[in-house]
Structure 1
């Protein structure tokens, strides 16, 4: 009754992996140059990609510092009664893994679109 929820549509962005979680549905620590708060956490919800990563499939291998091109949904929750705001992020689809040495180049390529 006192809570308004504003949701942004998924956006595709490159995020740098700082710490993955080996349990599906838990948050990954990420970093992004395109967000106000560079470091953030996001819930992993792409079950198909997560299983291939967990099974060490070739196309899903990654290391800290590598990037993900992913569709990320950001939800902003505003509680007018308590005057609080919270932000929740969710990785809904991983498009591909980007090796660390190519992350900067990919960010530049995306910004020109």
Structure 2
């Protein structure tokens, strides 16, 4: 699992940063301890990201349903990787585990 920083804004927007990508998206509360979020994460231009099936990846679309317990957020969903021409390269299950930082 890659390290990342995600910022959930009060207006329902979010941003994510990794060593090789940046992205934006949105989130919404769906229950007392549940939320859903969706984002598009674009690979940095200086990163050549090659998919497991050998194609160059340009961005990834991620949709997650998550639960929070105190300062921990865990979730599952789908990730769909797209090439530079927007064609879907492949899809996979996605999981996340995050901790709140001050």
TM (normalized to structure 2)? 0.34
Decide which structure has greater strand share. Answer: 2
Higher RCO (CA < 8 A, seq sep 6+) = 1
Larger Rg: 1
TM (normalized to structure 1)? 0.32
